[in-house]
Structures are given as structure tokens and as C-alpha cells.
Amino acid sequence: MKHHLFITGILLVTFLLAQFIGIAVVYKYIDPIKSQEEGKTVFKPLPIGERPPIEEKTSYIPVILAILLGTGLLLLLIRFHLDWVWKAWFLIAVVVALTVSLSAFITPITAFIIALLAGAWKIFRPNVWIQNFTELFIYGGLAAIFSPMFNLWSISILLVLIAIYDAYAVWKSKHMVTLAQSQAKSKIFAGLLIPYKIGKVLKPPGAAGPRIPVKVRTAILGGGDLGFPLMFAGVVLKQLGLWQSLVIPFFALGGLALLLFLADEKKFYPAMPFIAAGCFVGLAIVKLVTLVI
């Protein structure tokens, strides 16, 4: 088992909560009047501007290229110790995603102010609470941006490609492990961080000198492992409906749970092959139920 049962439970519950919050965000961006008029799902404009004009059938191509390019740039930043560039880049991404996500429920200007404050807190004064709280909303914003650009065919191809890439990056090239360790070390991490113990282990009572922080084992789940199944669920929402999209997170959760229960605690594993498999099983179940009823 990868982590203790209690920590595994927290990780799985937080994953599921992020998925449902994300689906709620995407749902709020659907324009019901225009959708009814046009006979298909139409999304409201984003508070940050128009979505890129990408062809749905081939939208996986620019997205996968952007992921590869971004990964390469991040590795270069780590190689040359340009932490300030990574912080600025990450801050912009967090503020944009949070602004889009929160704007589904509150005014855009209020959402931007909260996103800016939360993003600065997350990066410059990080702690486990602000890290995980912001992660619950960030991927809903990303799904609201990207899900409308895909159909079920293209998002399925993207999920397969990401699963293959994740497996290669963890088991073969191992650069994904390097990225995760570097991000955790710099305290700028895209994903969930669930420590086994909150706070610091201090010096013995009565001992002189400063407090001594001690490393605490932490369960992590990368941002892509949260974002890609949510994008998939967002496309299911777009093409099939709300209840159908709500089924997907449970099967994605099942894939992740299977990995966590079968994995060795001392090894690194790619989560996306398991999560993607869960998403496809969920879609198959949805299709089967739809045919029956």
C-alpha cells in the first residue's frame, strides 16, 4: 500500500471533492438559453477573454504540444535554478485559473482579488491549508477553459496520450519524478500535498537554541492527475449531460484507489494510466445505462 489507510482516505476524498467542485464550475459556465436555442451545449464567455479557436476533433494536438513544451521549459528553469521565473509563471497560472473558477459563483472583479491574494499566499507563504484549498478550485477553472474545446473523441485521445506520457516520464525517463521532487523542495507544487503530520517537530523541551524543523512524509498527487479526469468529465457534461458527468469521478477515483492500494510505498508510480482507465470504464457504464433506459 502506497500510504497509510487514513492518509489514503484523505487523498481520495480530496480528489473526489476537487472533481465535483470542478464539474460545478463547468456547469455554471453553460448558457441554458443559448443551449436550448441552438440545440447543443453553449458556454458563456470567460472573464479572462475568449477561448482559443481550436478545432474540436484535433484539439488534443496543440494541448499535448503545449504540455511537452511547458515541461521542457520547466526542466530548464530547474536546471539553471531560475526559481523566480517559475514562481512568476506559476503565480500567473494560479491567478488565471482561480479567477475563472471563482467567477462561476461571484463577480469577476471579486474573484480576481481573491485569486490574487490566494495565489500570492500559496506561493510566497505556503502551507498545507492554502495549498490544498486552492487546488480544489484551480482545476475547475482549467476545465471551464479547455473542456469546451474538446469532444469525446479528442478528449479520449488526449487521455490516452497523457497516460502513455505519464508512464514514460515516471518509469523510463524519470523526469516527472525530478519535477515533483524539485517542486516540493521549492514549495511550489501543482497538486495535492497531504502530510502525515501537520507542523514541525521542535527541539526537546528545555533545550537551548532555535526550533528544528524535521522532514515529514507527505502524500502527493500531481495537478495533471486532478485536471485531466476533470476535463474528461467536463466534456461528458457538454455532450451527454450532468448526471452522466457526475458518474465519471467515481470511476476515476476507483482507478486511483486501485493504484494506491496496490503500490509499494517506496516507489514512484504514474497515476494517469489508472485514472484514465477509470474514466473510460465510467464512460462505458454511462453509455450502457443510457442505452438501457
- pLDDT, tens only, 1-46: 888 899 999 999 999 999 999 999 999 999 999 999 999 999 999 9
Residue 287 lies in domain: 5-198+214-292
Q: 204 lies in a domain?
A: no
206 is a domain residue: no
The answer as to whether 160 is a domain residue is yes
Judge whether 287 lies within some domain: yes
Q: Tell whether 71 is covered by a domain.
A: yes
**Based on the structure, what is the number of domains in the chain?**
1
Q: What is the pLDDT of residues 276-286, one digit of tens each?
A: 999 999 999 99
- DSSP letter at 168 equals I
Decide if 208 is inside a domain.
no
pLDDT at 210 over 80: no
Nearest to 244 by CA among 234, 258, 256, 259: 234
Cα–Cα distance measured from residue 158 to residue 92, given in angstroms and rounded to the nearest whole number:
25
Question: Of 103-107, 183-187, 273-277, which range is least confident?
Answer: 183-187
- The cell for 5 is 489507510
- Is residue 207 domain-resident? no
- Whether residue 205 is contained in a domain is answered as no
**Would you say the pTM of this structure is higher than 0.85?**
yes
Residue 49's DSSP bridge partners are 46
